[in-house]
Amino acid sequence: MKKTLIAAAYVMAVALITTLVVARPRAAADPVAWNPKAAAAYLDQRQDWWQKWQGAQRDHGTFCVSCHTVATYALARPALRRALGETGPSSGERALQENIAKRVMMWRDVEPFYPDQTRGLPKTSESRGTESILNALVLASRDARAGSLGDDTRRAFENMWALQFTRGDQAGSWAWLNFHYEPWEADGSRYYGAALAAVAVGIAPGGYAASADADRMKLLREYLAQAADKQHLFNRLTTLWASTTWSGGAGEARKAGGEAGGVDGAGGARGAAILSAEQQRAIVDEALRLQQADGGWSMTALGSWKRVDNTPLDTRTDGYATGLITYVLQGSGDPRAREPIARALAWLQKNQDPAGLWVASSLNKQRDPASDAARFMSDAATAYAVLALTNAK
């Protein structure tokens, strides 16, 4: 009888443990399953290369800021501090912030990234518009973690707003670099740039959005909302991200100052979502529909891309699409996305390269994987993978 009772108790205990394990929420990322230290090493190495690369050098001892390698680094690198036990910015972050602050404060003296005289019209205006937005985004992200808006960030926003179009079909947007490179510098990238400007406003601390020029804010909101339904999913996802920072959304719970990686939801334009509830739901619907069987996404599904060398696009799941969509869905607060997010996080945990990065391939041409240009997509992929994994609850 005693042996029978012991056996029964053992079976019940095993059953209880099994139930708890099976029922455990799967939306959290296990830091043991991926390597934050390797991710930081990759991002730091790429940032160091960029800052020293001859192609990035500009006047007054500065370097240009790119969407793929620099801006994404500024958003993601601080998210790794807690995992690495760091108490402050990395050397790459400090150098980047100093570089941008210098260009912001010398705005009338520094040359545009690509002057008309050497690159043709309208590269000066495109360069100014692009840089003004990226400067505001990087500095606002820095200040969101500090909790107060710096003088250089306030100046960066002033530079940005001064270049916003106020009339015509493009009212509310900015001139944006177009080198026919997808997805950041192409025909549809003006909208992407405006969405990043909205992210910068939304994450800026100290109630900045409430104090910003109401007419400028209205123009930006209307431009993004009215043109959203005509955009490819990549652009619409960026606007969904921006919209959640303006309205609070799930981003409200993940403060920008947190070391866990969230950079949105800090002092944005509360109650003023850019997109309607129907538009936000439609974006989430499309993203969920495109999730691949392995739990991730492919950049090839987010737009109508075509390589200039006519080589086939890589349709496999990649780190850029998966990291970006996972991060945006986390901020959306849509309950339908919980299980897809868990599956995506599992994919990210399993598919970090031993060198620390997450891989994504060019949408423009077949590139030598060992080349620095081929790594641009992987730079962005690694940044968004880090943001998604460190933001997992």
Looking at 66-80, 166-180, 241-255, 329-343, which range is the least confident one? 241-255
Cβ neighbours around 292 below 10 Å, total: 17
Compute the residue count for the chain: 393
Using 50, 70 and 90 to split pLDDT, how confident is the model at 4? very low
The pLDDT assigned to 28 comes to: 66
Could you tell me the domains of the chain? 26-391 (1.50.10.20)
Omega before 36 cis (within 30°)? no
The pLDDT assigned to 259 comes to: 37
The pLDDT assigned to 393 comes to: 75
Mean pLDDT, all residues of the chain: 89
Per-residue HEC secondary structure of the chain comes to CHHHHHHHHHHHHHHHHHHHHHHCCCCCCCHHHCCHHHHHHHHHHHHHHHHHCHHHEEHHHEECCCHHHHHHHHHHHHHHHHHHCCCCCCHHHHHHHHHHHHHHHCCCCCCCCCCHHHHCCCHHHHHHHHHHHHHHHHHHHHHHHHCCCCHHHHHHHHHHHHCCCCCCCCCCCCCCCCCCECCCECCCHHHHHHHHHHHHHHHCCCCHHHHCCHHHHHHHHHHHHHHHHHCCHHHHHHHHHHHHHHHCHHHHHCCCCCCCCCCCCCCCCCCCCCCCHHHHHHHHHHHHHCCCCCCCCCHHHHCCCCCCCCCCCCCCCCHHHHHHHHHHHHHHCCHHHHHHHHHHHHHHHHCCCCCCCCCCCCCCCCCCCCCCHHHHHHHHHHHHHHHHHHHCC
**Radius of gyration, CA atoms only, the chain:** 22
Using 50, 70 and 90 to split pLDDT, how confident is the model at 257? very low
Using 50, 70 and 90 to split pLDDT, how confident is the model at 57? very high
Q: Does 110 have pLDDT greater than 60? A: yes
Q: Does 103 have pLDDT greater than 90? A: yes
Are 268 and 149 within 8 A, CB to CB?
Answer: no
**pLDDT tens, position by position, 206-255:** 999 999 999 999 999 999 999 999 999 999 999 999 999 997 544 433 33
Using 50, 70 and 90 to split pLDDT, how confident is the model at 31? low
pTM of the model: 0.89
The pLDDT assigned to 30 comes to: 74
Looking at 57-61, 214-218, 257-261, which range is the least confident one? 257-261
CA distance 374 to 73: 17
CA distance 60 to 38: 33
CA distance 246 to 49: 34
How much of the chain exceeds pLDDT 90, in percent? 84
